[in-house]
Amino acid sequence: MAKASTLFTYALRLGDDSLIIGQRLSEWCGHAPTIEVDLSLANVALDQIGQATHFLALAGAIEGKGRDADALAFKRDVLDFTNCLLVEQPNGDFAQTIARQFLFSHYQALLFGELAQSKDERFAAIAAKAAKEVAYHANLASDWVVRLGDGTDESRTRMDQGLQWMWRFVDELFVMDEVDAAAQKAGVGVDKAALRAAWDQRIDGVLNDATLARPASRRPALGGRKGHHSEHLGHVLSEMQFLQRAYPGAVW
């Protein structure tokens, strides 16, 4: 049986991933290229925030120190966040946002598909619901990768540049550390490394349809799971946590 500290960290990581990419996507609200895209990105953001709420609430319950989902989201400093580096990367242009979502959503789709089989019913229940949502996210992002990649010279260039920017953060998604290994051994977590082959197949299939080349392998950027983040996360949190920092104890 996994230690409570392990399960707390495992749930926290899942929640932080969804929370930060949800916050990033919310930055597009009112600024997307069309009203349809604005609504679709907002809906994906809401799904991600919903997933974050469930996972962070579970983390708080496991920890047993009275911290709920809001406390974990709004009252932690940047070094205490455990999200992967990919989700905190800047939106850039529309193609760069789509590149980030494309890579991450296919990872989440595979992850939650496996996590839904967890021996811990709490993790399994959240993952089963989330799996349906991220399947849509992956399809939405894939459609845009194809439309932009196989579109105009300008859209193709921007889609390629977006993938090149985000690619260095991919390897971190599949790294297994002591927390992942312990959670998996207990039958709670997922062998993320084993998801890589299926993820590669999904990504390569879409890139082929988009007539885009797979970015070349490069030195991976790692550290998010240990609280070693890029400068971008601090900017995300300064906006996301503003009201709680300005008005301590405020409630919705």
The ranges assigned to domains in the chain are 4-215+227-246
Q: What residue type is 58 in one-letter code?
A: L
Classify burial at 215, counting beta carbons within 10 Å of its beta carbon; exposed 0-12, middle 13-18, buried 19 or more. middle
pTM across the whole model? 0.97
Give residue-wise pLDDT tens across range 84-99: 999 999 999 999 999 9
209 compared with 246, residue with greater pLDDT: 209
In 3D space, the residue among 36, 45, 55 whose CA is nearest the CA of residue 189 turns out to be: 55
Q: What is the pLDDT of residue 252?
A: 65
- pLDDT of 43 strictly over 80: yes
Q: For residues 19-38, b (16+ Cβ closer than 10 Å) or e, as one string? A: bbbbbbbbebeeebeeeebe
- pLDDT of 216 strictly over 70: yes
Q: What is the pLDDT of residue 1?
A: 67
Please give the biggest Cα pair distance in the chain: 54
Q: Report the alpha-carbon distance of residue 10 to residue 225 in Å, rounded.
A: 10
CATH topology of domain 4-215+227-246: Ferritin (1.20.1260)
Q: Report the alpha-carbon distance of residue 184 to residue 181 in Å, rounded.
A: 5
Q: Report the alpha-carbon distance of residue 177 to residue 129 in Å, rounded.
A: 26
